[in-house]
Structure 1
Amino acid sequence: MKKQSLLFLLMILSLTGYAQIKFEQGYFIDNNGTKTECLIKNVDWHDNPSQIEYKVSEGAKAKMGYIKNIKEFAVSDLKYVRETVNIDMSSEELNHLSATKNPEFKEATLFLKHIVQGAANLYQYEEGNLIRYFYQVGDKDIQQLIYKTYRVTQEIVNGVAKERTNKIDKNNRYKQQLWTDVKCDNIKESDAVKANYKKNSLVKYFVKYNKCKDPSFVNTRKQEDRDLFNLTIRPGIIFSTLYDSKETGSISGLGDFESKTNFRFGIEAEFILPFNKNKWGIFIEPTYQSYKSNLEIEETTFIGTNTRTFTVDYKSIELPIGLRHYLFLSDKSKLFINAAYVVDFEFDSTFQEEINGITKTKDFRTRTNVLGGIGYKYNNRYSIEARYGMGRKSGKIFSTSSYSYRSFSLVLGYSLF
């Protein structure tokens, strides 16, 4: 089992160091207005980039292009434009909320993601948890749609300021901006009032405006459909053992139980994160597993030899919650590595000792552990994974040391959707 563990970890490290570099057809426009058709490395940026990696041809050496030299670039269904704008960088995290209602602007030169292009343009800027939307009507300057969550530290009651530190409010000025600057005959004031400061809601509003201005309007910046959720049936074989986890140098425990081979069955829900070309996912997989084994120990005393028989009967529902990373080999084929924290819910699990016809039984309880896996997925439906579960300690058993449960699994998968 130790050799398996070492081999498994080495495989994870080697795969972690591997990543396919995929360049896709695109272009960029430099400060002189020159448009260069090229291949751009499309990493489906979560945070708006400040530079790109590109090749002028398939066999050419990759180069870096920086925001100071590029006015605009596009790759696949993505388009970014460089603009110097006023942006409110106030935090949206509850522990760091500003006590000021008005936006706290700072000037910055950014690549803004173009998400609606027409008579009125909609742009997005994202950095960590910060998301800001910008708009432009006709040839007017690009402005931020103002939305801010802030902490109210005072309120006025009958003309008197009173302290109040437990209230959070929102500045929704963007709704007034929409109704004032982005309105048309088919748009009602209620449309602006109901618009949320979310991508889908704002896209819907701007598309409606552009269709009013031009009935033939089509949003050329429409994003591709993404497979953001997978439900997968995952049966497999599990090779497991229960070993004495007593530290070296302490009084010897009972010894190790035999390795056993059993069936396991899981149902996995996977949520694909909507950035970096669907390379990251979060999964949860309730899994049934079992382990049953005996251990016999002969003890010689002054009155003869006794045989002590220990029986462990362990059944549980494991609940791994983890992170997965995909490494694409082709449009239909991909490798993946994952790691998870496992909560274990054992049931009807016992540890039994029998000697001279006398039986003692104790509930078998376990703690949490972690696991890692390497796998392959084809056509986004069929998969196979090798998975290693680190030692999961049990509670103390009788007067002996605690035990640890360790496993190695081969898991097949079939995604229902």
Structure 2
Amino acid sequence: MSVGEKIRQQLAAAALKRQLERVSNEAAQPSKGRVSPKASGADGAPFDPRARFEAMPLYQQVKLMKEMGETLRVQSPFFRVHEGMAGATTTIGAREYINYANYNYLGLASDPAVMAAAQGAITRYGTSVSASRMVAGERPVQRELERALADFYETDDCVAFVSGHATNVTVIGALFGHGDLIVHDALAHNSIVQGAQLSGAKRLAFAHNDWQELDSLLARARHEYRNVLVVIEGLYSMDGDYPELERFVEIRRRHGVFLMVDEAHSLGVLGETGRGIREHAGVAPQDVDLWMGTMSKTLAGCGGFIAGCQPLVDMLRHLAPGFLYSVGLAPTLAAASLAALERLRAEPQRVASLKARGHQFLQEARAAGLDTGTSAGYAVVPVITRSSLKAAQWANALFDEGINVQPIFYPAVEERAARLRFFICSTHEPEQITRTVAALARLAKA
């Protein structure tokens, strides 16, 4: 590529970035007479321009993202079709790739015992319970999974939901509202932010992993609110780092707040036996009020859960809209996650292998001069490119070499934080990681 072509692409990227920022800002403002192209219905009558999806700022943002790829001549790396099971490797278009684009951290989604459990549940219960558990009743495997998770977390009880994202939204919204305060990490998952926004409670954020800022914030504001919830994550899926949980536990006691830990990416990953950040930090189970997790990652299924004290679980089982008004977890998914949890407990060597592979990736990447940000080398390692264009180009170049990884670029992150995000599995081979880092090093030098 010539210098002139590089400059042209950079200018085009900057212009499109400014357009995206403008559209994003417009999306946050009330509509002020925006119009869309004229069109008519089947009867010839013109559509009201206010009732066209094309006029919505959200669509304009999607359109501009597509235009960015076309202008910069970068093929989209998203929505590729995978054939068969995805883990350390995957098959796309009849070609096998080293795969870093899935959360199958311990390789349990394709484990024979887990698949057999799921197949057995289909034979016994069918594919769906077809209604909410309060209406349609329960299946033994649903409660078996919840009891096993409660035992794993050493809590009174547990309740399972059909979606991890919906778990955070419905639980935060059900428990907290007007007159309450929800404080979360600045890099909290969208589901946490959405739950806080929809709850009606006051929402504040503190700098990423900065427990001191949180402490100061609560010292100033705690007295103004009835209930206060602090939400952090066990392992942050964008950066691969984790909080000092013991510090947040101290803040919980000092200020009289509820503490919620989202363990979507830390369950089965942190701790010598995969019990998550509490094992890693040496924190007692009762020092956290709400243990949240998902079944779609380590636990090889789909859905989310909350483990905690009995009053908490009773409230959620009877009053959380995402449980009460949603279909119950499919028995086949409950059986798969239950079997995966049993395998996790019986085979801690999977956790050790994951740690070894994650640390290998991190160490080799840093030795190659790659920017891995604040990653601790547990399952999630970003390689920061500081350019959306570069992230997309690198992802496509790696794909050509038989390596599948997804880029993260603006507006999902700031332009200077654009990156490739590598999810490591215990089933990755050392030579696969070495080959991947070598390919990244070549791209960086080029």
TM range (shorter): under 0.3
- Higher normalized helix content (fraction of residues): 2
- Higher normalized strand content (fraction of residues): 1
Length-normalised TM-score, structure 1 = 0.25
Structure number with bigger Rg: 1
**Higher RCO structure, 1 or 2 (CA under 8 Å, sep 6+):** 2
Length-normalised TM-score, structure 2 = 0.24
